[in-house]
Structure 1
Amino acid sequence: MSFTIKGAAVAACGTLLLAGLTIAPAAAATPGAVTLNLRYGGVSRTVEVHGVDTVAGALAQLKLEVDADDVVAPGLTTTLSDGLDLVVDVVSTKTSTKKVTLKYSTIKTATKKLYKGDSKVVKKGRNGKAIRTYLTTTVNGESSTVVIKEKITKKVINKKVLVGSNDKRAINLARLAKWNKIAKCESGGRWHINTGNGYYGGLQFNLATWRSVKGQHFAKYPHKASKAEQITVANRLYEKRGFKPWSCRRVL
């Protein structure tokens, strides 16, 4: 069995460029010959050389291509001996560039200013852009690629989010007398009423308004929350809009 490796035949300063080789196992040892266990480019063969005494001389005689990127072991100046294991890893490299998108990260910070389950975006995220230079190295036909340089053309801005860690549902009964008057007008003072008209509880919250001030901290529906909890949620809404959301504010 034989194989052929083609190339150019030049030898200088320890670098060999050789061509046109056919290697076949020798039928019988030649007087003065040295037998080598050669693995070239990942392919193993037993070869015979004669009249040379170094690895460089053997490679030249065998007309094997070896350039500055290739790895030869043992080295080119090593003295030959019968049965020597000679390995030549054929290595090539190339570079390439590519525009890439850099994904932003989301940074979450716990805060007691928010209740558990709530969050607040304090800085929006933005993807960045870069030009990357890659080095691809091929060894005996197997390639691997790494980034060797990166130029940022658009800076990444990470998203920052505050995440609630407060598990206490503080009750706020401010304006209690006024809320009692409004409830008497809105629902007859029935704090757990649900007539099916889309308004719930003593203060007749609709779901959208209830949720807008985090009423779900206490209950999914307003009429399922206690009187104190409904008043607490009403005070949250009051901080934003006063008594304006209630038509019964006229009774105050």
Structure 2
Amino acid sequence: MAAGSFGVAHLDKSVALSVDGNASSLHVFGSTVGDALEKKGITVGEHDQVTPSVGSPISDGDTISVRYGRKLTVTVDGVTKEYWTTATTVDAALRDLDIRAGSNAKLSASRSQALGREGLALTVTTPKSFSVVVDKKTLAFTTNVGTVGEALAEAGVKYDRNDRVTPAANAPLTRGLAIAVQRVTTGLTTSTQRIAFATVTKKDATLLEGTRKVVTEGKAGVRRTTVRNTMLDGKLVTVRPLTIRVVTAPVSRVVAVGTKARPVAPKPAPRATAPRASAPAPSAGNTSGAGINLSNAAMWDRIAQCESGGNWSINTGNGYYGGLQFDIRTWLGAGGGDFASRADLASRAEQITVANRVYADRGLQPWGCGHAA
């Protein structure tokens, strides 16, 4: 009986246990650290620290230490890393992991905060120098805030939603960052512009072919435009039209173009002409040698001014020629071939001579500008 009692007593061991610094004791009949932990209902994982190791033998009076691992997710100045630590406070974990977070660093949790087995996500923002270019000035600051917007607020730089901030206000603040704040202003400008009028032609059977008459004078219109101007630091960068309104519509210029056929003059009988060499110098209102007849010369000058602007050699390619705008048929029919094949190739005196021949037969009816006589 005494020997049996000695054997049981020899197998029973008194062990001290510390779990995350909390001390307790237990009696265990097992032979290893793992046996003692099992009796206490303690399960450990790969990130937990057990001293001595789980497989180590134990003796009466030994001390077993268990420190549970905690997952710590640390973001330092925007860079995130994951760690495992057995520290039980934030400050101890930072020292244990050699994470540099000096006294000037800003932490998202208190340094003395307990670190539970569930772990913790911690943000560390270290002091950073940065510069701001605003209102044509460059300013320098140091702060431990995390974003551009927070840095500007701490620096006292004000801006509104229209201003342009580069990098964006929600961008992370990095060491040596240069921030630009550009002032954006807008304004409206209204101006008027001239609207050119169009020219419209219409056929008129009451006017002779080749005759043009202005029926309605053209008139330019007026357009009013309102635009939005956007200025960046006082410089114009965009102009966007907002409204375009026609204040006065343009009036088209209407020109009537004659389509009435010109009558054909009968071919005159051959007439005797004196040799040019013996003809006296022609004078207005008289018939002279070589068939030249300058009667009504002043009248024909007025009509020519209306028909061709007084250009006796005009040829616009419209089928009418010379100062009095003869067509080929009328010119040759009235003997113009005595002088030239077309009126524009003949002299003023020769054109007036042929005009007098037509006038003698048909009056001023062939000329659209006969009213200028």
User: What TM-score bracket applies, with the shorter chain setting the length?
Assistant: 0.5 to 0.7
Task: Classify 1:240/1:49 alpha carbon distance in 2 versus 1 (closer, same or farther; 3 Å).
Answer: same
CA distance in 1, matches of 2:359, 2:168: 82
RMSD of aligned Cα (Å): 4.8
Q: Which segments of structure 1 move beyond 6 Å, counting only runs of 4 or more?
A: 160-163, 197-200, 232-236, 243-246
Residue aligned with 1:56, SS: helix
Residue aligned with 1:177, SS: coil
CA distance in 1, matches of 2:283, 2:153: 99
CA distance in 1, matches of 2:143, 2:230: 34
Q: Does 1:238 align with 2:365?
A: yes
Q: Which has the higher contact order (CA 8 A, sep 6+)?
A: 1
Give the counterpart letter for 2:348 in structure 1: P
Task: Classify 1:77/1:106 alpha carbon distance in 2 versus 1 (closer, same or farther; 3 Å).
Answer: same
Overall identity of the aligned pairs, in %:
17
- Structure ranking higher in strand proportion: 1
Question: Does the aligned pair in 2 maintain the 1:135–1:147 contact within 8 Å?
Answer: yes
Give the counterpart letter for 2:366 in structure 1: E
| Cα deviation, residue 148, structure 1 | 1.9
What are the within-5 Å matches in structure 2 for residues 1-252 of structure 1? Answer: 32-41=126-135, 43=136, 45=138, 47-97=140-190, 100-105=192-197, 114=210, 121=214, 124-143=217-236, 145-159=239-253, 174-177=265-268, 194-195=282-283, 201-202=292-293, 204=295, 205-206=297-298, 207-214=301-308, 215-216=322-323, 218-219=343-344, 222-225=348-351, 237-240=364-367
Task: Classify 1:192/1:239 alpha carbon distance in 2 versus 1 (closer, same or farther; 3 Å).
Answer: farther
Write out per-residue CA displacement over residues 77-119 of structure 1, whole angstroms, 9 at most, x where no aligned residue.
Answer: 0001112232222101122445x3533245599xxx759xxx7
Give the counterpart letter for 1:103 in structure 2: I
Task: Classify 1:245/1:106 alpha carbon distance in 2 versus 1 (closer, same or farther; 3 Å).
Answer: closer
Report which stretch shifted further, 222-231 or 86-95. Answer: 222-231
| Cα deviation, residue 140, structure 1 | 0.3
Question: Does the aligned pair in 1 maintain the 2:228–2:242 contact within 8 Å?
Answer: yes
Q: Unaligned regions of 5+ residues in structure 1, if any?
A: 1-29, 164-171, 185-190, 247-252
Give the counterpart letter for 1:239 in structure 2: P
Question: Does the aligned pair in 1 maintain the 2:194–2:220 contact within 8 Å?
Answer: yes
Task: Classify 1:233/1:77 alpha carbon distance in 2 versus 1 (closer, same or farther; 3 Å).
Answer: farther
Q: Unaligned regions of 5+ residues in structure 2, if any?
A: 1-103, 106-125, 202-208, 258-262, 274-278, 309-321, 326-342
Residue aligned with 2:242, SS: strand
Question: What is the TM-score of this pair, normalised by structure 2?
Answer: 0.40
